[in-house]
């Protein structure tokens, strides 16, 4: 069964979009995907997460992590799944994968105006091939520009689509139609504020 998670970005004192307060009672009954956009800098808000994660529903976390130590911290706080940057050092990915089968490889599609086609062919596909035999079995594919997710999906070879289980987080904030179908998709990560409004 395909899962749907409510996507929120950590805003320091609230969740975005919305904003949604950390103590909003609707968060108790929603499966959440929490992004902490650190851009490789700064520490994790572990003290806050230690209090908040148990008060929310299931939480999957993407905290721009490239060290297995951070994965362990987030799992110990109660996260059901955590993501590691697909371009983290191989040893960090392998250590994280050895510690838990709840690790996702996070591939963030660049939104800097470069060629998505070039990035997919020259960076994403070769990297996933490198990790096929040693890394986690699930990929979190994240877009921050409309239309990019399907552009990448169309280019992925069949063997990679078959080898990995896929979580898709489209910039559109809603499920998007995929030209090649979504048979290998196990989860969608969608606009959290919209999902909460629909629950009212």
In angstroms, rounded to a whole number, what is the distance separating the alpha carbons of residues 189 and 168?
6
Mean pLDDT of 102-129: 94
List Cβ neighbours of 164 (8 Å cut-off, separation of 6 or more).
105, 128, 137, 138, 139, 184
Answer whether 44's CB lies under 8 Å from 73's CB.
yes
Answer whether 62's CB lies under 8 Å from 36's CB.
yes
In angstroms, rounded to a whole number, what is the distance separating the alpha carbons of residues 17 and 51?
21
pLDDT band at 193 (very low <50, low <70, confident <90, very high): very high
Mean pLDDT of 110-125: 92
Model pTM score: 0.94
Residue 49's SS3 state is helix
List Cβ neighbours of 118 (8 Å cut-off, separation of 6 or more).
none
Q: 41-52 pLDDT, tens per residue? A: 678 999 999 999
Tokens standing for residue 67: 């060290």
Tokens standing for residue 158: 């069949």
In this prediction, residue 42 carries a pLDDT of 74
Residue 158's SS3 state is helix
Q: 158-189 pLDDT, tens per residue? A: 999 999 999 999 999 999 999 877 888 999 99
- Chain mean pLDDT for the chain: 93
Chain center to CA of 47: 22
Answer whether 99's CB lies under 8 Å from 77's CB.
no
Residue 38, pLDDT above cutoff 80:
no
Answer whether 165's CB lies under 8 Å from 3's CB.
no
Tokens standing for residue 65: 């992590």
In this prediction, residue 182 carries a pLDDT of 82
- Classify strands 81-85 and 59-62 as parallel, antiparallel or unpaired: parallel
Long-range contacts of 44-51 (CB under 8 A, 24+ apart): 44/70, 44/73, 44/74, 45/10, 46/73, 46/77, 48/22, 49/74, 49/77, 50/77
How many other C-beta atoms lie within 10 A of the C-beta of residue 7? 26
Domains with residue ranges and CATH for the chain: 3-198 (3.20.20.70)
């Amino acid at each position: 069964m395909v899962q749907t998670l409510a996507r929120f970005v950590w805003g320091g004192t609230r969740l975005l979009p919305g904003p949604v307060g950390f103590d909003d009672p609707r968060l108790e009954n929603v499966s959440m995907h929490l992004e902490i956009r650190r851009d490789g800098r700064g520490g994790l808000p572990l003290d806050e997460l230690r209090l908040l994660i148990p008060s929310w529903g299931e939480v999957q976390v993407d905290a721009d992590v490239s060290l297995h130590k951070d994965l362990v911290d987030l799992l110990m706080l109660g996260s059901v799944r955590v993501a590691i940057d697909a371009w983290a050092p191989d040893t960090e990915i392998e250590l994280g994968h050895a510690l838990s089968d709840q690790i996702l490889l996070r591939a963030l599609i660049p939104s800097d105006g470069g060629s998505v086609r070039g990035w997919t062919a020259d960076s994403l596909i070769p990297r996933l091939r490198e990790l096929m035999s040693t890394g986690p079995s699930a990929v979190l594919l994240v877009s921050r520009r409309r239309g990019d997710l399907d552009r990448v999906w169309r280019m992925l070879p069949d063997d990679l689509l078959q080898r990995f289980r896929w979580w898709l987080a489209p910039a559109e904030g809603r499920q998007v139609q995929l030209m090649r179908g979504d048979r290998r998709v196990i989860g969608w990560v969608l606009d959290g504020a919209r999902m909460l409004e629909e629950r009212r």
